[in-house]
Structure 1
């Protein structure tokens, strides 16, 4: 067992700069998990269709997720309760809503994550179809998470993030961003037909439901008291700023290489991009990009299979609690028990096998757009409940309640996502 996993709630963290950097991990897990399956594919498509016009949505998405991630981490460390324990205090409607949502979301997302991971593998090794590679990715992710501990998963994710940075950002630098157009894209505009893409960008920069998993990873890391809040804030910022850079890099690649192409009509858009890179820069440019794209996508498989399964296991635990059960503390939540529980393993199987039915539709890009829209429906719920929980005098100590900036960001996030979600749903009907 790693030393940081043995840390108790009363431990005093080393706050030196070197020690803080060594502790970075849960934020990278949370941000890289979400940026894997939904963001980069949707961003590449958005760049191909609208150029740099939606750059502003990437910026806002990063800022909002910074605020949400900090709020989730502060709830766990400041109150000593998990996210599901907090929702339980709001009544059965909150936990009931989340229970229905996580089941539906898992079915869509399982297919999205596996297909996004399979696209670059199919491009490099066409011996299997996209659906075939997706099945392989799902099974490998299932095995890693089923048998792996948090410390191992964090190490694997860190390596994949390193590969992501070198390859994806390197590709964007190689193709050369148009800085003037990028600057213009920082001014909010809504080109015709772009609402779903805006939802995908803002709702998925570093995850949607995966944001709520962040607190569980802080507990797994051994952070169990408010003393860890400064380290949590650094960790959260590093994670979301890093993934924001990844998403910008993919927007650049889409805008510079694929502008004008309708990638949603075929699952070969990624292969076309790789071939374009090879034609323009040589075969050496093709493989690193595909390897990087796989690293980006597969982090979401590992992270979701672990983090969202922990959320489901905790939902089952809190749903079955007696109404008069005493409030839990950080020490009463057993992360290891959650990872070995029956509900945890059932949800792992739910993420892996039923979604395989969707893998052979032949349109993995559409799945990622659907995921972005579906994920955005969760954001008003998360931001609204956090706004209440972090200001509740009966739940949060005064020194850790939200201040004006956090409340402003959560309120803006609530209003924005509620508005765009209602607009999108109205358009569907």
Structure 2
């Protein structure tokens, strides 16, 4: 029966080509605009590590002096080196990692390559198991290499391809800023977006090419990047030194379960009390412990203009649906005579209703195909924009299914009222008027 109604719908389209084209275009424009903005919102607001984001927590403490204190205000987003190293040493979580971004100059052994700079991450051993970074070759370093200032490095697959033609480079030497390191691991393709573990160096983009022990990078005075907030004494010659009054380090912990957050928060509260007793902290305890998604929400990772564009596109889709409702209503009412004859020949109201919905759904299907093409063009235009998330604007399989799902729902909603009106056509009146 549905196949029969589908054939009737195609015949109807051929008889009313202009009206059908207007409906298809209206739906396509609404779907194209809404799916473009919805796809951008989807890739920007997605969970970068969904299987454990509720067990990964970002730590904030408040080491600042009382000057300028306001009760209830947020503490600094980052930790001092002293606090980060102390928490790391005490190991009160399943995994813990301190980190900051940096940049290094690589000196390739191959004469075909000239020295070049690339992004680096100075971190601790638990970084890799905590964030489930996949390895193509080798492994990460151990905690004793953090403490021993080991000159070891983990590199990205991209850098391994560039320097070693993609071969297993574990054990090979890597010259950085005049110092020789040993490659102990090569990461497989890994590029979590948003760049949640360090939003100070960019919210979206590629992961770093080189990872090395934080202690080693500090000993060698490697350059760092990202924000730094200094307070208190201003006479430190090295703002990255252990006792400098500067916050510039990100600190993450992984707990066994989300329910352990209260215990770890109590530990941080006790730590803050101890530091205040020692004279380092002055303010009342001010602790924040947010999981991944709460941290992304707090940092407002999704740009405000993207949210606004999403609402505007959804409003535009609604306008297109209202127009489609009007066009379908006009089309069905023009066929009142035909519907009356079918009713007189025995078609039930339910059959007329179903036939009308199938016709509306067919219009929606055609509009969805065209809308998908418009969405692809829209996303291509987004990728040409000078914004850091531009290259992420691609239509994946999930959004492709959502496009057709949204199209079907939208077209059926648009066809509901006209179909309801069509099924109420009185056959006797229509037959008398013929």
TM-score interval, normalised by the smaller of the two chains: under 0.3
The TM-score with structure 1 as length reference comes to 0.25
The TM-score with structure 2 as length reference comes to 0.24
